[in-house]
Amino acid sequence: MADLQLEKLKNYQRFQGPVLLVIMDGIGIGKGGESDGVHLAHTPVLDALFAEPLFTRLRAHGLAVGLPDDGDMGNSEVGHNALGAGRVFAQGAKLVNKAIAHGSIFEGGAWHHVMKQAAGGGTVHFIGLLSDGNVHSHIDQLYALLERCAAEDVKRVRVHPLLDGRDVGEKSALDYVVPLEERLAAMSADGRDYRVASGGGRMVTTMDRYGADWSVVERGWRAHVLGKGRMFASASEAVHTYYDEDPTATDQYLDSFVIAKDGQPVGTIEDGDAVVFFNFRGDRGIEISRAFEDADLAEFDRERVPNVFYAGMMQYDGDARIPKYFLVDPPAIDRTIGEFLCREGVRSFAISETQKFGHVTYFWNGNNSGYIDERVEKYVEIPSDTVTFDQRPWMKSAEITDAVIEAVSSGSYDFVRLNYANGDMVGHTGIAPAVRIAVESVDLGLSRLMPAVAAAKGVLMVTADHGNADCLFTEKKGKREPMVAHTLNPVPFIIKDFSQANPIALSGIPEPGLSNVAATILNLLGYEKPEDYDPSLITVG
């Protein structure tokens, strides 16, 4: 534990209240105007905070959070990793791309076991998000796996695509499904049989997270494994049909489907097969992995559990070892701010609703589940609503605010962190009135938190993990298209010091990013940053 010992900050005066970090998920700084949902919302508190002297903008995408290049949008996973780690680690997309380019992905034991199953007559199944959004997966990585199967003369491959419409255009499924079907058809030569077997929209099929709605995983299991669901001749036919039946339908909510021939599913998962879940991001890969690996899973009736070899693109939970086998090693994030604070006995409180609870705990702690030290930490999860978020855009902001006010007022904690999920979850719906209400709900929460922090003589920090609500639509040739993905915009960072115990000034770091926040928190708590942490955004004293 010696390497987790912190040096005290010189000339620092301890103050009475806590340091409170508010993470406004998905609320970036847009260009203003009618496409900017944050700008359009009535946000008197945020407007005043943006005028504070301790205000700056942080990079929250691309290289600043460990993604392959600056054209890559940030996301909540890498954003909270950077916030909690205090430096930038190469993230999933980058690690997988490197493993594919170097060929190491095909040299490990997991891939060899997949090929062994295929050599024994088993089908190789690929399940995952089909898009180039590069947040959970990338279609080019799937193509690389398929090409390798063909090169190794795997005879039978089935793909189970989950439709995106969230990190890419909301009705862009055919841009990915049609080329995939064409590629699989071209690969089906020399005795090979490659085709799509099942799929569905990501928010209703397979990709649940944090135990929010296991029926999503059950729906995917029934389609992928059992071949039970609405049947179509092809995935493109399924998408076309769903679009025709409901012109307002978007990809992420399209119902599950099964591809059939002569009334029989073409790709159920059977004993002796191999299954690869090709998402690299962890949060929405854990539950489906458990469904394949847990002998005593109680969350739903699987009806039939085939004896297969299952692997993830990466290991999605290092502590729980989910899944057991994986193709690419995840980033090894160590010495997080949480570990340092626990070592120093700093009392911490973390809270969000279900949709983002793992972000202020699991991802904040370097992709490790559970407490670091339950003696000095308390984690609180507020159950999320199970309706689409445009219907209740206020989400659980009020309940989170209530709990934080109580925690701040109790005097029991030195550091409090919370995540308001509204800007991101409602931003993904692309429904402008709901997005504005979501942002206003966050502003209302801030209006209630500030007096509590002031009364406790603490310090308030406000930031975001990436943008989303700050862009409602894009416009090309006079035609507007809803924007439901994350943005490349910077995010705000504000300090409001109610303690007045120490002189605080911005340090003037050029091009600061989310990874600079951890050192800033440590300074506010009276500690020097660890040597390898990125610089603090402030000077204290």
How far is residue 64's CA from residue 66's CA, in Å, rounded to a whole number? 6
CA dihedral of 109, 115, 117, 119, whole degrees rounded to 10 = -140
User: Quick one: three-class SS letters along 153-179?
Assistant: CCCEEEEEEEECCCCCCCCCHHHHHHH
Query: What are the tokens at 504?
Result: 């605080």
How far is residue 525's CA from residue 522's CA, in Å, rounded to a whole number? 5
Q: How many CB atoms lie within 10 A of CB 248?
A: 7
Start-to-end CA span in the chain (Å): 28
Question: What distance lies between CA 84 and its chain's CA centroid?
Answer: 15
User: Is 76 a residue of the active site?
Assistant: yes
Which residue in the list 35, 76, 256, 515 is annotated as catalytic? 76
> What is the identity of the amino acid at 8?
K
Nearest residue to 533 (alpha-carbon basis) of 6, 1, 79, 2: 6
Alpha helices in 222-306 (DSSP H): 235-245, 286-293
Nearest residue to 72 (alpha-carbon basis) of 126, 19, 136: 136
Per-position DSSP letters for 93-140, written without gaps between them? HHHHHHHHHHTGGGTSHHHHHHHHHHHTTPPEEEEEEESS--SS--HH
Query: What are the tokens at 482?
Result: 């809803």
* The residue to which tokens 């049989």 are assigned: 193
Q: How many CB atoms lie within 10 A of CB 175?
A: 15
Residues 325, 113 contacting (CB under 8 angstroms): yes
Q: Is the peptide bond before 323 cis (omega within 30 degrees of 0)?
A: yes
How far is residue 315's CA from residue 101's CA, in Å, rounded to a whole number? 20
Residues that are catalytic: 76
